[in-house]
């Protein structure tokens, strides 16, 4: 007598998996990359483009916040650096890439 077996006998599949089967197995991975692109990569690229446009548009008199938290008014714009007036008669040189936020005009007067 044959004893009960927990695993049934495996029989060979009569049809081989074709191109459709292999494509269907990669579909979840492809779908994951599409979702990753729209949720992470695309918004980051948009933010970088906005940041670059803001830095390129910096002009004398703009009020900004740097990445280090320094608030100041732009007094001179060069190719890679800007001069920030942080107090009356006090200027510091900062890299353009360190500017994180462009403030509305008149913000520093209220602080």
- Confidence class for position 12, pLDDT limits 50, 70, 90: low
Q: Over range 6-26, report the average pLDDT.
A: 64
**Can you give the pTM of this predicted structure?**
0.66
Tell me the mean pLDDT in the region 22-32: 87
> For residue range 64-91, what is the model confidence (pLDDT) as tens digits?
999 999 999 999 999 999 999 999 999 9
Cβ atoms of residues 103 and 72 within 8 Å: no
CATH of domain 59-110: 2.30.30.100
Instruction: Specify the residue for token string 């670059």.
Output: 52
95 pLDDT above the threshold of 90: yes
Dist CA 82 CA 31 (whole Å): 45
pLDDT at position 9: 59
Decide: helix, strand or coil at residue 47.
helix
The number of helix segments (H) and strand segments (E) in the chain equals 2, 5
**How far, in Å, CA of 66 to CA of 84, rounded?**
10
């Amino acid at each position: 007598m044959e004893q009960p077996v927990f695993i049934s006998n495996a029989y060979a599949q009569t049809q081989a998996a074709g191109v459709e089967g292999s494509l269907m197995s990669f579909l979840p991975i492809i779908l994951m990359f599409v979702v990753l692109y729209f949720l992470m990569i695309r918004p980051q690229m948009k933010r970088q483009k906005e940041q670059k446009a803001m830095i390129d548009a910096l002009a004398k008199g703009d009020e900004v916040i740097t990445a280090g938290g320094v608030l100041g008014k732009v007094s001179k714009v060069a190719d890679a650096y800007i001069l920030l007036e942080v107090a009356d008669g006090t200027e510091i040189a900062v890299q353009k890439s360190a500017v994180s936020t462009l403030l509305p005009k008149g913000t520093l007067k209220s602080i």
